[in-house]
Structures are given as C-alpha cells and as structure tokens.
Amino acid sequence: MGDDREDVYSKAIRAGKRTYFFDVRSTRGRDLYLTITESKKHTREDGSASYEKHKIFLYKEDFDKFRDGLQDAFDEIQRLRGTGEYQQDDHQERVPDERPGTPGTPPDRFTDVDFDDLGGDPPDRT
C-alpha cells in the first residue's frame, strides 16, 4: 500500500543556530495539518555537526485556537515591551549587573559566529 500523503507547502525561517520549519501536509483523507519544527545546530568538538529537533503537529480542529493563543501571546509581548520593563533588542546578549535594580549590560566578549549558518542548504528535518 502506497503512502498518498503529500507535502503542500513548506517555509524555512533561519534564526542564528536555529531554523524553524513550517510544513503543511495533506492526510490520505485530504485534510490539512501543520508541523512546526525547530532545528538547532550543535557543533561537536571534532567539528562535525548534529541537529536537535523538536516538532509540533497541529491539526485542523486546533488551528483557530492555536492562532488565537499565539496572537494573544504576541500582543502581551508588545504590551510588556511598551511598558519599558523589557528590552526591545532581543538579539543583544545581556549579562546581569551585580547591583540590584540595574539593567544588564552587554558582555565584554564577542559571540561565536558559525559561518556555516549563513548559507547552504537548511538542515535535514528527518
């Protein structure tokens, strides 16, 4: 018996050492579902790479609830950022200052950049 499920749509979003995959697939019964995969690259001491993956399956009966929950979470993030209590620049690594009540300051060291993350094919998702 053949597998007649099909990939309908796929989108990869690169974010540093992480890649997020949004894949729409069709079941044998022609229902659509979404998989969201987070793949994080780890470099071993010998220089070889491995990928840690986490996957969420989202089925049609949950699409609206998931979208609403995600939108609520994004709205709350925007509200909290608007209060000034949280930093807008989430790409800047911060280290806490030892004095209570003092915001974190940028570290005195550079971030390790892996140039393999800047190009080439996205990691294998299987």
As given in the structure block, the two tokens for residue 54 are 């986490």
- Tokens 């004095």 correspond to 99
d(CA 8, CA 30): 11
- Phi and psi dihedrals of 108, rounded to 5? -85, 5
Q: What's the pLDDT at 104?
A: 46
- pLDDT by 10s per residue, the chain, length 126: 455 568 999 999 999 889 999 999 999 999 999 999 999 998 889 999 899 999 999 999 999 999 999 999 999 999 999 988 887 665 554 444 444 444 444 444 444 545 454 455 555 555
Q: Which CATH code is given to the segment(s) 6-87+114-118?
A: 3.10.450.700
Domain ranges of the chain: 6-87+114-118
The reply to whether the predicted model has a pTM over 0.75 is no
Q: What's the pLDDT at 101?
A: 45
Q: What's the pLDDT at 105?
A: 41
- Which residue type, as a one-letter code, is found at position 111? T
